[in-house]
Amino acid sequence: MLYAHPQLLANLDNIDGLREALQSAIELEHATIPPYLTALYSLKPGGSVEITDRIEEVMIEEMFHMTIAANILIAIGGSPQIAHASFLPNYPTSLPGTIANGNPVPIRSFSIDLVKDVFMEIEEPDNPLVFPFKAKIGMGDGISTPKTIGEFYRALQDALIAMGDTIFDPATAARQVNRGIAKPVATAQQAKEAIDKIIEQGEGTSSSPLDTTGNVADNFAHYYSFAEIYHGKKLIPDAQTQFAYAGDPIPFNEDTDVWRMADTPKTEFYRDLGLASAVEASDEFNKAYTSLLKLLHETFNGTPSRLSAAVSVMRDLPDLAAALFQIPLGNGLQAGPTFEWLE
């Protein structure tokens, strides 16, 4: 489980503190995307569709969570800051705004261990619902009275409600993104409801693993989607225990379904190996990802129509990653994306 840094909750009683907390939320939500993307792209075509679909859905929802936080920040007079090198984490790393008490988050090809040790830790609810065949995931390392990410978001909701509608500028609605679950925010109540979507899609509810914010009846919150992958079986209704990991298998063949890449590589690593093709492919991927962040910065700072261009760049990333996975490093591993800022 991730724990929020105390500084995130220290100044929620004033507008500047709220803006800083929302910027941190944007950075936190974004920081999960490169690890999820890498795991997704490393799965070979024709492999486990069940796993691919689950990771892709989680990754897309994380992008919407980032957008929701940006909309709320815009609504209270802030300006999301995305187009700078320090916005992109230097992996492996603790996620922005969290205490370094667990596994550093890497850039790594897909594995069941990655899902269990990293992805489920990122998405773990305050009180995860325990179903048959579900292993207990670590609950922290004894930090005194820690605040979880869910508690951070709930504290943010309380602060927004307490400060009321006077801090919201309805005129900013035209500058906010209106797509999917990310809707323009103009009141404290709308901000609270928007944050509810972030919490429920990541954690479910206190009584159900289902995410009820969308249109899919059996859509599970992120933690439980990853738990399905870890257990290798779908989570299905159960008369005695509400749900159980007892449905159809979620297959994965470690030998044939995934490209094995070097762990959290850097472009300089490829250069040291004398692999000019890997350096070139890494630069192309990083230029595209940097362009994506710049376009998102424009989107969240007065030009929401730029989101279409950002989506277009996003669609190029799988092919750019695939080019890296085709390059052997000479040690049984392949090259992979590095997610470094590159103009």
pLDDT at position 146, please? 54
Residue 342 inside a domain? The answer is no
Domain boundary among 238, 258, 278: 258
pLDDT at position 139, please? 32
Check if the beta carbon of residue 267 is closer than 8 Å to that of residue 283.
Answer: yes
State the average pLDDT over residues 281-294. Answer: 98
SS3 letters across 30-83: HHCHHHHHHHHHHECCCCCHHHHHHHHHHHHHHHHHHHHHHHHHHHCCCCCCCC
Higher-pLDDT residue of 17 and 102 is 17
Pairing mode, strands 3-4 and 147-148: antiparallel
Does pLDDT of 79 surpass 90?
yes
Domain of residue 181 covers: 3-258
Identity of the amino acid at 23: Q
Q: What is the pLDDT of residues 241-261, one digit of tens each?
A: 678 888 999 999 999 999 999
State the average pLDDT over residues 79-99. Answer: 92
pLDDT at position 305, please? 93
- In the chain, the number of structural domains is 2
Please name which of 30, 23, 41 lies closest in space to residue 260, comparing C-alpha atoms.
41
Higher-pLDDT residue of 143 and 323 is 323
193 and 324 together in one domain: no
109 and 161 together in one domain: yes
User: Phi and psi of 188, rounded to 5°?
Assistant: -65, -40
254 and 272 together in one domain: no
Residue 177 inside a domain? The answer is yes
Residue 331 inside a domain? The answer is yes
200 and 274 together in one domain: no
pLDDT at position 236, please? 86
Lowest-pLDDT choice from 181-185, 217-221, 236-240, 271-275: 217-221
pLDDT at position 11, please? 87
3-class DSSP state of 243: strand
CATH code, 139: 1.20.1260.10
State the average pLDDT over residues 49-67. Answer: 95
90 and 180 together in one domain: yes
Lowest-pLDDT choice from 13-27, 61-75, 202-216, 223-237: 202-216
111 and 227 together in one domain: yes
Residue 40 inside a domain? The answer is yes
107 and 30 together in one domain: yes
Residue with tokens 């999960």: 32
245 and 321 together in one domain: no
Residue 29 inside a domain? The answer is yes
Please give the share of the chain, as a percent, with pLDDT higher than 90: 70
134-142: list long-range contacts, CB under 8 Å, 24+ apart. 134/227, 134/231, 134/245, 135/230, 135/231, 137/1, 138/1, 138/102, 139/1, 140/1, 140/3, 140/101, 140/102, 141/101, 141/102
**Per-chain mean pLDDT for the chain:** 88
145 and 269 together in one domain: no
Please state, in angstroms and rounded to a whole number, the distance separating the CA atoms of residues 222 and 113: 16
Tokens representing 226 are: 């990853």
Please name which of 158, 231, 157, 242 lies closest in space to residue 208, comparing C-alpha atoms.
242
pLDDT at position 143, please? 32
Q: In whole angstroms, what separates CA 118 from the centre of its chain?
A: 12
Identity of the amino acid at 235: L
Residue with tokens 């159809």: 248
Residue 178 inside a domain? The answer is yes
Domain boundary among 197, 223, 258: 258
pLDDT at position 111, please? 96
Quick one: pLDDT band at residue 275, thresholds 50, 70, 90? Answer: very high
pLDDT at position 141, please? 35
36 and 67 together in one domain: yes
Residue 21 inside a domain? The answer is yes
Check if the beta carbon of residue 256 is closer than 8 Å to that of residue 308.
Answer: no
285 and 319 together in one domain: yes
pLDDT at position 213, please? 60
Residue 234: enclosing H or E segment and its boundaries? strand 233-238
Residue with tokens 């929302």: 22
Domain boundary among 209, 236, 258: 258
Please state, in angstroms and rounded to a whole number, the distance separating the CA atoms of residues 85 and 106: 18
69 and 203 together in one domain: yes
Residue 343 inside a domain? The answer is no
H-assigned helices in the chain: 15-31, 33-42, 49-75, 112-114, 120-123, 149-163, 188-203, 222-231, 267-272, 276-300, 307-325
Identity of the amino acid at 245: Y
